[in-house]
Amino acid sequence: MEQLKTIGRELAMGSQGGFGQSKEFLDLVKSIGEARSKAEEDRIVLSEIETLKRRIVEPDIPRRKMKEYIIRLVYVEMLGHDASFGYIHAVKMTHNDNLLLKRTGYLAVTLFLNEDHDLIILIVNTIQKDLKSDNYLIVCAALNVVCKLINEETIPAVLPQVVELLGHSKEAVRKKAIMALHRFYQKSPSSVSHLVSNFRKRLCDNDPGVMGATLCPLFDLITIDVNSYKDLVVSFVSILKQIAERRLPKSYDYHQMPAPFIQIKLLKILALLGSGDKQASEHMYTVVGDIFRKCDSSSNIGNAVLYECISCVSAIYPNAKLLEAAADVIARFLKSDSHNLKYMGIDALGRLIKLSPEVAEQHQLAVIDCLEDPDDTLKRKTFELLYKMTKSSNVEVIVDRMIDYMININDNHYKTEIASRCVELAEQFAPSNHWFIQTMNRVFEHAGDLVKSKVAHNLMRLIAEGFGRRMILQIVESYLRIIGEPKLPSLFLQVICWVLGEYGTADGKFSASYVTGKLCDVADAYSNDEIVKSYAVTALMKLFVFEIAAGRKVDILPECQSLIEELSASHSTDLQQRVYELQAIIGLDAHAVECILPSDASCEDIEIDKNLSFLNDYVQQSLEKGAQPYIPESERSGMLDISNFRSQDQHEASTHGLREVQQAATVPSSSDTGSSEVKLRLDGVQKKWGRPTYSSSAASTSNSSSQNTVYEVTPVDGSSNVNSKAREASYDLKKTQVEISPEKQKLAASLFGGTSKSERRASSTGHKVPKGSSHVLKSTAGSTTDVLVEKTTPVQPPPDLLDLGEPTIKDGPSSVDPFKQLEELLDPTQLGSSANPGIVGSTSAPDIMQLYSDKPASGQSGGFMYPSSSNRSDDNLVSGLANATTDSAHNITAAAHPSQFSKGPNLKDSLEKDALVRQMGVTHQVKIPTYLKIC
Amino acid sequence: MIKAVMVINTQGKPRLAKFYDFLTVDKQQELIRSVFGVLCSRAENVSNFMEADSIFGPDSRLVYKHYATLYFVFVFDTCENELAVLDLIQVFVETLDKCFRNVCELDIVFNYSKLHTILDEIVFGGQVLETSSAEIMKAVEEISKLEASSNSITLVPKTVSGWRNR
């Protein structure tokens, strides 16, 4: 009777369609949905589990009912409860011949089991059978399971069948077989390595869907080994071309775009293949350019393809026209109201900026908008972009912004990342010591527990090696101020303790009792932190030692005394030892302590007498008394291990005497830190900070004599006037377009001012000027952006390339009169020609001293816009340099002469470039209005 | 590669969760919770993208779309394009809509297995397999038809021992 009822319900359900469910399930979902608390939900689910446990073992359950039980199990597990009692029933269900039950069983096992589960062995046989089934739907279901549940050991059991299916008559099966093979490759490359050629073969499949599926494994393969697939470049390009020309069946269109997902995959692959390969890239230029033109930018998917084009263009060997097209698309993205497009625009900008840094400048205001956007994702992406374009001129603004943001977020993961970026940027680009210390203090204070300890060690070493006494005094002062604040991060305290121990009393400004008192407070306040305590004890020891060495009487404060006593009974043997050492050392005389802990010598070399010559007498005596003579290692046999151990031991013993907490002391000397594994770029930093530098309030100068000539020539020519007019005009234009707040402009100027400056190491001479100025006149008539593009130049080359440029400068500065240059720079007409009015005041002017430092990148111009008359040839030159050093091929013509940067510019090249630029200027003009129409 | 697909309702209840690499039930729950936590803290009119490194490990990104009472979430690595994945969600939802005629949360709850069938046609082993909702519909309908035809009411021996004896 009961059964009849069930059947009746089954029939009723059946009339609802294939997927109807019983009332029970409906009630379950409903009651869970109405549950007011997690506890209530848990109770409902637990009772459901009890019901299922009972029901599922009943004999002779109708298959529809059984299917529902399994689905209910899956549902229960999705809600986070254990349904493992039912796994075996799901496995059993896969053996059923009924397609509905089999598919349900397969679905359940893919969700329940992992590839290493014990029950898998019960399914493999069924999978093997099903892969051979006549019904292609069963084959597909089996392939689905294969992807999820076959592990390295079971791959051989199904591999032959899967390979056979690559030639199946149904394209749906071929597609899935390829995916399954791809999955095998991901899990165990070695087991299918002999079958990799199948992917190439399937690329020529008649069905575009199968071809599209093949791109997935090929993308992975090419990522791993680019060179083996260079031969496919032509094929990929021709496929992409066919798709772009709409030669695929209409069914592959998506939102009026021909097979956009396949296009995206292809562009990704081309980006991999064309990276750094000029020849391969040349095949791609036409088709990528076509897609840029044809792509529908009003739909989401069209923009996805456009973004992928930009990624591709910025990855392959650069092509000026494509870069131009990419810049246009970025402009469109950034101007869009959609946050998604802005995000993509910022991301794309980050990619393109490596090749053409001037792009960022065009979009400075858009970037700042994104930075102030309430959308966190967009903000982070923008910080990433800023991180990529940081240089010494804008580092202050960027890092300050980053820290402000860092303080306000709770996400520790991102906090860590942004903190380490701040530290990295500060170390690399710090404009002044004072700023550097303040920045580091802020980072440590707010994210001290998140940064790596290496950062702290680097900082300590930097303070010891790179800073002058005055600076160190400032640091000590700031630390003594901060130390009283509650809840400082452990790592920051370690740095503070070390610095106070090393330099706390060095200048005599603070008394030893004052500093030791502070240190005792720290040890008391952070009594749970043993590392901080050991740093504090070592610092105390050093302070006492310095007092003794200076001939003063050591008076140990009572709280200090009690701390020492308390710690001498500490559970930590390390702390105990430190305290005992401290006690032993204070008892020694001035001469002895000075040998043990010399003042400010943490970076000195420690001389190690490896021969232990001071023991010679002792050895001699022992020998005379009849002791066995020492047999050198090489003359012994079979004792290698022991001797190794011994020599190591010896080495350790000799360095051990120092007992410094940080390893800084053992690092040989400052000069070769660059080659040590520590990432901090001390070589540049140290030179900068090694000598006293004074920031000049005036704008900076540049560093070559030829530059000087340019200055003298331009006013005569009058082109600077023209130029400044052009700028003013362009500025006005901009202003009318958008209402821009002055703060924003200021921020823009401080952020991007740096972009426009670069090594104007131009050796342009008089004969260039007339041509240049005529060009300026033309460009005045041209578009705004044209002018903007003109005055920009590539980013600073990466520091490792700096050495390359060194000789060029060295012969330069002899004839430079910095004061004269200064005067000229302050000339009001020159000032007027600056495009960003806020720039002069807000950017920090690089030091004049930098002129003479051997860091060529510091030959910046403090955000000054130079008259374009010199830019013409500058551009050419600089890109020539860029070609020689970085891969930026801004200019193809110069590529053939990598050494050209030291010579004068080639007249012909510059003519060609002139033409090119003008041509680009025209296309630019055309493109913007079309965009505006779309808007 | 796509790492996970989730459908979560606005109260944080999972409606579908599929992870393309195996994770324990507890881990899955934790991820669903943290994803929901982040999603509901996001304002309206912001981008549909998020960096999900802190939840799913390095290089993870997340794209979500909010439809009525449901969040559709795709988690993937750097090999996919965010805008394209956004369209993939669109394809998924369009297909559901065609399948259920004005899809709503209830359809999804009660047609759990069909939801999986559709998703399996779109994403296969973590890779995008098919992006045309018409093609997906065709495949799903074919499966339904076959399942229905094979579905005459019969009784199946259901005990594990009974099956083992076979």
The percent of residues in chain B predicted with pLDDT above 70, rounded, is 90
Give me the pLDDT at residue A441, please. 87
Pick from B84, B109, B142: CB nearest A261:
B84
Q: Which residues contact A40 (CB under 8 A, 6 or more apart)?
A: none
Cβ pair A250, A293 in contact under 8 A = no
Q: Would you state the structure tokens that stand for residue A147, as one six-digit string? A: 């992807």
For the stretch A473-508, pLDDT in tens is 888 888 888 888 888 888 888 888 988 888 888 777
Mean pLDDT throughout A568-589?
A: 87
Which one is predicted more confidently, A609 or A780?
A: A609
Pick from A64, A254, A304: CB nearest B81:
A304
Give me the pLDDT at residue A427, please. 83
- SS3 string, A782-803, reads CCHHHHHHHCCCCCCCCHHHHH
For residue A9, is pLDDT > 50?
no
Pick from A182, A373, A377: CB nearest B51:
A377
The answer to whether residue B162 neighbours chain A at the CB level (below 8 Å) is yes
For residue A531, is pLDDT > 60?
yes
Q: Between chains, do A58 and B125 touch, taking CB under 8 Å as contact? A: no
Confidence tier at A676 by pLDDT (50, 70, 90) = very low
Give me the pLDDT at residue A525, please. 87
Pick from B43, B114, B135: CB nearest A19:
B114
Instruction: Tell me which chain A residue has its CA closest to the CA of residue B13.
Output: A79
Backbone angles phi, psi at A577, to 5 degrees: -60, -40
For residue A433, is pLDDT > 70?
yes
Instruction: Tell me which chain B residue has its CA closest to the CA of residue A68.
Output: B113
Q: Between chains, do B147 and A18 touch, taking CB under 8 Å as contact? A: yes
Confidence tier at A553 by pLDDT (50, 70, 90) = confident
Instruction: Tell me which chain A residue has its CA closest to the CA of residue B78.
Output: A268
Pick from B17, B22, B154: CB nearest A63:
B154
Mean pLDDT for chain A overall: 72
Cβ pair A105, A59 in contact under 8 A = no
Give me the pLDDT at residue A191, please. 87
A106-120, A405-419, A507-521, B145-159: least confidently modelled range: B145-159
Give me the pLDDT at residue A552, please. 80
The answer to whether residue B101 neighbours chain A at the CB level (below 8 Å) is no
Give me the pLDDT at residue A289, please. 94
Give me the pLDDT at residue B23, please. 87
For residue A651, is pLDDT > 70?
no
For residue A806, is pLDDT > 60?
no
For residue A866, is pLDDT > 80?
no
Pick from A63, A78, A180: CB nearest B156:
A63
Confidence tier at A675 by pLDDT (50, 70, 90) = very low
Distances (CA, A) of A736 to A406, A722, A730, A732, A834: 35, 21, 10, 6, 19
| Collapsed DSSP state (helix, strand, coil) of residue B127 | strand
Mutation for testing the B interface, residue in A376, A414, A415, A417 having most B CBs under 10 Å: A376
Q: Between chains, do A78 and B14 touch, taking CB under 8 Å as contact? A: yes
Mean pLDDT throughout A518-524?
A: 88
Instruction: Tell me which chain B residue has its CA closest to the CA of residue A311.
Output: B81
Mean pLDDT throughout A317-323?
A: 92
Instruction: From chain B, pick out residues whose CB is under 8 angstroms from the CB of A268.
Output: 79, 81
A18-32, A97-111, A363-377, B77-91: least confidently modelled range: A18-32
Instruction: From chain B, pick out residues whose CB is under 8 angstroms from the CB of A14.
Output: 151
Q: Between chains, do B155 and A14 touch, taking CB under 8 Å as contact? A: no
Give me the pLDDT at residue A829, please. 47
The answer to whether residue B152 neighbours chain A at the CB level (below 8 Å) is no
Instruction: From chain A, pick out residues whose CB is under 8 angstroms from the CB of B157.
Output: 59-60
Mutation for testing the A interface, residue in B2, B6, B124, B143 having most A CBs under 10 Å: B124
Q: Around Cβ A5, how many Cβ atoms within 10 Å?
A: 9
Give me the pLDDT at residue A4, please. 42
For residue A218, is pLDDT > 90?
yes
Give me the pLDDT at residue A595, please. 78
Nearest to B73, CA basis, from B60, B89, B84: B89
Confidence tier at B152 by pLDDT (50, 70, 90) = low
Q: What is the CATH number of domain B2-154?
A: 3.30.450.60
Nearest to A45, CA basis, from A68, A22, A67, A74: A74
For the stretch A447-477, pLDDT in tens is 877 888 888 888 888 888 777 778 888 888 8
Which one is predicted more confidently, A525 or A672?
A: A525
Instruction: From chain B, pick out residues whose CB is under 8 angstroms from the CB of A219.
Output: 79
Distance (Å, whole) CA B34 – CA A139: 37
Cβ pair A593, A585 in contact under 8 A = yes
Instruction: Tell me which chain A residue has its CA closest to the CA of residue B144.
Output: A18
What number of C-beta contacts closer than 8 Å exist between A and B? 210
Instruction: From chain A, pick out residues whose CB is under 8 angstroms from the CB of B114.
Output: 18-19
For the stretch A741-775, pLDDT in tens is 777 777 777 777 644 443 333 333 334 334 434 44
Q: Would you state the structure tokens that stand for residue A110, as one six-digit string? A: 């893919």
Distance from CA of B80 to the nearest CA of A (A): 9
Distance (Å, whole) CA A598 – CA A654: 17
For residue B36, is pLDDT > 90?
yes
The percent of residues in chain A predicted with pLDDT above 70, rounded, is 66
With a threshold of 0.85, tell me whether the complex ipTM lies above it: yes
Give me the pLDDT at residue A238, please. 93
Distance (Å, whole) CA A591 – CA A581: 17
Give me the pLDDT at residue A739, please. 58
Instruction: Tell me which chain B residue has its CA closest to the CA of residue A25.
Output: B110
Pick from A81, A303, A375: CB nearest B47:
A375
A465-479, A911-925, B117-131, B149-163: least confidently modelled range: A911-925
A116 CA to centre of own chain? 35
Provide the 8-state DSSP code for A214. Answer: H
Give me the pLDDT at residue B19, please. 92
Q: Considering the domain delimited by A452-602, tell me its CATH architecture.
A: Alpha Horseshoe (1.25)
Confidence tier at A176 by pLDDT (50, 70, 90) = very high
Give me the pLDDT at residue A897, please. 43
Distance (Å, whole) CA A860 – CA A851: 9
For residue A803, is pLDDT > 50?
no
For residue A871, is pLDDT > 50?
no
Mean pLDDT throughout A639-660?
A: 46
Confidence tier at A821 by pLDDT (50, 70, 90) = low
Instruction: Tell me which chain B residue has its CA closest to the CA of residue A183.
Output: B125
For residue A44, is pLDDT > 80?
yes
Give me the pLDDT at residue A668, please. 42
Distance from CA of B67 to the nearest CA of A (A): 17
Q: Would you state the structure tokens that stand for residue A372, as one six-digit string? A: 């102030």
Q: Is the dihedral of CA A640, A645, A649, A652 positive or negative?
A: positive
Instruction: Tell me which chain B residue has its CA closest to the CA of residue A412.
Output: B54
Residues 14-33 of B with CB under 8 A from A: 14, 16-18, 20, 22, 25-26, 28-29
The answer to whether residue B91 neighbours chain A at the CB level (below 8 Å) is yes
Burial-class residue A721 by CB neighbours within 10 Å (0-12, 13-18, 19+).
Answer: middle
Cβ pair A152, A188 in contact under 8 A = yes
Q: Between chains, do B50 and A216 touch, taking CB under 8 Å as contact? A: no
Instruction: From chain A, pick out residues whose CB is under 8 angstroms from the CB of B86.
Output: 300, 304, 340
Distance from CA of B102 to the nearest CA of A (A): 16
User: What are A225's strand-pairing partners?
Assistant: none
Max mean pLDDT among A334-348, A612-626, A815-829, A857-871 falls in: A334-348
Give me the pLDDT at residue A66, please. 86
Q: Between chains, do B158 and A179 touch, taking CB under 8 Å as contact? A: no
Q: Would you state the structure tokens that stand for residue A279, as one six-digit string? A: 């020849």
Give me the pLDDT at residue A765, please. 37
DSSP string for A45-61: HHHHHHHHHHHHTSSSE
Instruction: From chain A, pick out residues whose CB is under 8 angstroms from the CB of B151.
Output: 14, 18, 63-64, 98, 100
Burial-class residue A169 by CB neighbours within 10 Å (0-12, 13-18, 19+).
Answer: exposed
For residue A887, is pLDDT > 90?
no
**In residues, how long is chain B?**
166
Q: So where are chain B's domains?
A: 2-154
Instruction: From chain B, pick out residues whose CB is under 8 angstroms from the CB of A12.
Output: none
For the stretch A255-305, pLDDT in tens is 888 999 999 999 999 999 999 899 999 999 999 999 999 888 888 999 999
Distance (Å, whole) CA A24 – CA A9: 11
Distance from CA of A366 to the nearest CA of B (A): 16
State the alpha helices, DSSP H only, in A132-170.
Answer: 136-149, 155-165
The answer to whether residue B58 neighbours chain A at the CB level (below 8 Å) is no
State the alpha helices, DSSP H only, in chain B.
Answer: 25-40, 53-56, 82-100, 105-110, 112-122, 133-149, 160-165
Q: Which residues contact A460 (CB under 8 A, 6 or more apart)?
A: A495, A498, A499, A602, A662, A664
Instruction: Tell me which chain B residue has its CA closest to the CA of residue A108.
Output: B113
The answer to whether residue B40 neighbours chain A at the CB level (below 8 Å) is no
Confidence tier at A129 by pLDDT (50, 70, 90) = very high
Mutation for testing the B interface, residue in A89, A216, A272, A311 having most B CBs under 10 Å: A216
Backbone angles phi, psi at A61, to 5 degrees: -90, 135
Confidence tier at A863 by pLDDT (50, 70, 90) = very low
Hey, which bits of A839-910 come out as E strands? none
Confidence tier at A697 by pLDDT (50, 70, 90) = very low
Q: Would you state the structure tokens that stand for residue A690, as one six-digit string? A: 């090694």
The answer to whether residue B130 neighbours chain A at the CB level (below 8 Å) is yes
